[in-house]
Structure 1
């Protein structure tokens, strides 16, 4: 099995002529732990975003299961302290989920996620900022970034990626993110819109923003699975098998906790078979961790994103702002307050929206293509807690169908 999976990826490396430098691609035809054919085409790769320091952002591009030639393309960013976007793929909106079962030393198994957003859109998941997931810098100075500089690096990545994937330039393009990722989404959208107005090539077909706002107030209290300290209860022999030694393994939660899947992700992402399949460059990231706990510099230099929301929506770009109504980290009332502060006229007043005849939350639509929605029963990362409702919300909104 290991041999077959190790050769399941095809590496394509070339240098582009644009300012972003080199782009490296890997075509992934199967994934460790997942039986059968992948639901759609997957590509991983690196884009150089800081030539001076040799900093490269790592991405996963997952094509739509529908019609990738016409379906929207969505850039997706995750939040937290340099959290890997693999969390969004495995626990929120991607086509694969970690099978939750007691860890026994074998590679964790994956299963198909029936409410993946890739049913209706192609998604470009990016490990950002530099230092998150498999993104890295050859010079340590490359890790010293902030919200503004990291956002500009993402704009650079998009220019490079679309230059090498021109077949997607005509597709509707959206920018999305949750938690801290949602904070920089409107800034990125504004920079893209400015590039469009200035005639910068390639021209992205920008349509949107997408933001989500203690994570789930009804959940049981569980430990935080994100690592930097050694947990004595772990069996080191388990960690020293084929997937390699974890120098900083996460604490092991109860299997009854939802975060147990986070725990399993460490063993999947640090497997040598997985790294070969994804095309991870050797010597770049010694150990994948789900999130970094403030061990790398990161400037919080976007104090408020409201002005960027106003700027891009006044230009006519679509915006969906949604919150889980059981999120105590960023309660939906606070998000609702800043949306109201835009003072846009209401076109569809506060009402319930439904899935299978049952209330799925509340929604309100404003002029300038601004929609605010709550997701009933969802926590901080809403699709993780209510995948069916969030898929219904996204698929309707992305298709211009009223919620």
Structure 2
């Protein structure tokens, strides 16, 4: 890892990276666990918006670009869930640091600079949204009841107030980004932003487009993608796949018969031991002490999935959608609702939990103490979330028809939102292919595949990546991110 030291070059860089009009009380001057020098200015704090009743305090962490903040694009990052903290992206994916376990065990993580941070080429905001997620909080628990449309409205309200605090970024090209359930967050928010632009709402946001990784989009496309993905990856046999095709007719998301259901159980048994976020990686089986979170008897993994109550043995939500993977009682699992059945212990969040629940860290990043904002969890059990939108495909069609740029990318070893479904729905838009399916390269090696359509719409895969693309393939992620933002061919 890189250890940063002061130099004349650094002094010049910091001069270039200075943010002139930003609220100085939000400037971060030091961070527990990091003993180097920040390579650009960091700001963090709360933006308060109206709730019903009371106020909603939304927490953000903003990093000025290490390149040229006055000109580089401004990007908002949202993690999924629904109800998961964007510090997931900050700590484990494309944030400015790499977090390493502290020694002795239980001490704060040690932070080193991340050479593949997305702040290398962009100004970036990490937002804990909706209210109640991560470090965002309200004085009134009723403000933790929300859904797709309310979240989009609240995040738009946040942006308008954020730009009032940082007006120097109003002229920068603005993009919205995210992964997983942000496949819903991003297009619904983009639609709110565009509506505001059309009615002349101020401050006027210079919105240019959005990018989404392994995003939930459409129940049928996403749901029917699992079995073809499993077969293509060699996870199920030809016999199992052919029986599924014959009895289910490709309808994995809505099994049409008992015979189909029994064949789906064979699929579930075959894949039950995998890490669904990345089939190439092992699961992190947490210790007994980590199995339960504060004020609930839910296993920690359900927080990681953004669930607000224990799943039922039938029609359980995964990323806010009905997931047929969890519809059987006897697919080799121990019991309905068990951790083994739901494959939810594959994400290790120990470093984030330790760092963000440390009061010195909270003070350094201007976050409220746990006594006010509550403990930090990667996904929030206190948020009651309703899925109140349908397919996102009409949103994509509407936004692309108005000229906004879109990049849809998929780690090709993700089984949560398989690329097979994403590839199918992007093709269903019916746009003309202007850049036919081809490999794209990093360091003279194939990094994935790309298909470009008219209307500024691109679908891209990342070879060997899982659900959180920048976590498993950081170099490749920075490559396509920077080239796409700069309008260069990938």
* Band of TM-score, shorter chain: 0.7 to 0.9
- The DSSP-based 3-state class of the residue aligned with 2:77 is strand
**Quick one: which of 412, 421, 426 aligns to 1:325?**
412
* Other-structure match for 2:54: 53
- The DSSP-based 3-state class of the residue aligned with 1:125 is strand
- The DSSP-based 3-state class of the residue aligned with 1:56 is strand
1:76-130 deviations in Å (ceiling 9; x for gaps): 1001242211110111111112114665232111111111110000001100111
CA distance in 2, matches of 1:60, 1:315: 30
Query: Cα offset for 1:336?
Result: 0.9
CA distance in 2, matches of 1:147, 1:394: 26
Report the structure number with the largest CA radius of gyration. Answer: 2
CA distance in 1, matches of 2:445, 2:28: 39
Equivalent runs, 1:385-396 vs 2, <5 Å: 385-396=472-483
CA distance in 2, matches of 1:359, 1:129: 37
CA distance in 2, matches of 1:265, 1:42: 18
* Other-structure match for 1:186: 187
CA distance in 2, matches of 1:227, 1:126: 27
Matched, 1:347 2:434: yes
> 1:179 and 1:227, CA in 2 relative to 1: closer, same or farther beyond 3 A?
farther
Equivalent runs, 1:242-261 vs 2, <5 Å: 259-260=347-348
* Other-structure match for 2:114: 113
**Quick one: which of 346, 369, 378 aligns to 2:456?**
369
Equivalent runs, 1:147-166 vs 2, <5 Å: 147-166=148-167
> 1:141 and 1:186, CA in 2 relative to 1: closer, same or farther beyond 3 A?
same
* Other-structure match for 1:286: 374
Query: Cα offset for 1:223?
Result: 2.8
1:34-83 deviations in Å (ceiling 9; x for gaps): 11111211111111222432211100011100000000000110012422
Equivalent runs, 1:229-268 vs 2, <5 Å: 229=293, 259-260=347-348, 262-268=349-355
**Quick one: which of 340, 346, 360 aligns to 2:447?**
360
Instruction: Say if 1:183 and 1:211, in contact at 8 Å, map to a contact too.
Output: no
CA distance in 1, matches of 2:97, 2:103: 18
**Quick one: which of 281, 285, 309 aligns to 1:223?**
285
> 1:173 and 1:292, CA in 2 relative to 1: closer, same or farther beyond 3 A?
same
Unaligned runs of 5+ in 2: 1-22, 215-275, 295-338, 340-344
CA distance in 2, matches of 1:49, 1:304: 28
Instruction: Say if 1:90 and 1:98, in contact at 8 Å, map to a contact too.
Output: yes
The two structures have a TM-score, normalised by structure 1, of 0.84
* Other-structure match for 2:178: 177
CA distance in 1, matches of 2:465, 2:437: 19
Instruction: Say if 2:101 and 2:108, in contact at 8 Å, map to a contact too.
Output: no
Instruction: Say if 2:93 and 2:470, in contact at 8 Å, map to a contact too.
Output: yes
CA distance in 2, matches of 1:106, 1:340: 49
* Other-structure match for 1:33: 33
CA distance in 2, matches of 1:24, 1:77: 25
- The DSSP-based 3-state class of the residue aligned with 2:26 is strand
* Other-structure match for 2:385: 298
CA distance in 1, matches of 2:84, 2:191: 24
Instruction: Say if 1:50 and 1:142, in contact at 8 Å, map to a contact too.
Output: no
> 1:221 and 1:107, CA in 2 relative to 1: closer, same or farther beyond 3 A?
closer
- The DSSP-based 3-state class of the residue aligned with 1:39 is coil
Instruction: Say if 1:46 and 1:58, in contact at 8 Å, map to a contact too.
Output: yes
Query: Cα offset for 1:303?
Result: 1.7
Instruction: Say if 1:76 and 1:177, in contact at 8 Å, map to a contact too.
Output: yes
1:341-375 deviations in Å (ceiling 9; x for gaps): 11111111110000011000000111110011000
CA distance in 1, matches of 2:475, 2:104: 27
CA RMSD of aligned residues (A): 2.0
> 1:291 and 1:224, CA in 2 relative to 1: closer, same or farther beyond 3 A?
farther
Instruction: Say if 2:146 and 2:383, in contact at 8 Å, map to a contact too.
Output: no
CA distance in 1, matches of 2:486, 2:360: 38
CA distance in 2, matches of 1:155, 1:221: 36
* Other-structure match for 2:466: 379
CA distance in 2, matches of 1:366, 1:296: 38
Query: Cα offset for 1:259?
Result: 4.3
CA distance in 2, matches of 1:332, 1:220: 20
* Other-structure match for 1:141: 142
* Other-structure match for 1:129: 130
Query: Cα offset for 1:29?
Result: 1.3
Instruction: Say if 2:27 and 2:42, in contact at 8 Å, map to a contact too.
Output: yes
Instruction: Say if 1:89 and 1:97, in contact at 8 Å, map to a contact too.
Output: no
Unaligned runs of 5+ in 1: 1-22, 231-250, 252-256
- The DSSP-based 3-state class of the residue aligned with 2:372 is coil
